[in-house]
Amino acid sequence: MARQIKNTIVRHADEFVIDLLGASSLIVMLCGALYLPNFF
């Protein structure tokens, strides 16, 4: 049972990390689009 729960947590952790990476890259792209024109 514990192994099953651990496997489920690990599986969801991978999905969570992927979602987090996608969201952070999206935020970085948005901030870059907003702030980059000010530097040029």
pLDDT tens digit sequence for 12-29:
888 989 999 999 999 999
Residue 24: the pLDDT is 93
Residue type, 33: A
Residue 10, pLDDT above cutoff 90:
no
Residue 6, pLDDT above cutoff 80:
yes
pLDDT band at 39 (very low <50, low <70, confident <90, very high): low
Average pLDDT for the chain: 86
| Residue 29 DSSP code | H
Work out the percent of the chain whose per-residue pLDDT is above 70: 92
- Residue corresponding to tokens 């935020």: 27
- Give the CA distances from residue 8 to residues 1, 12, 19, 36, in Å, rounded to whole numbers and listed in that order: 11, 6, 16, 41
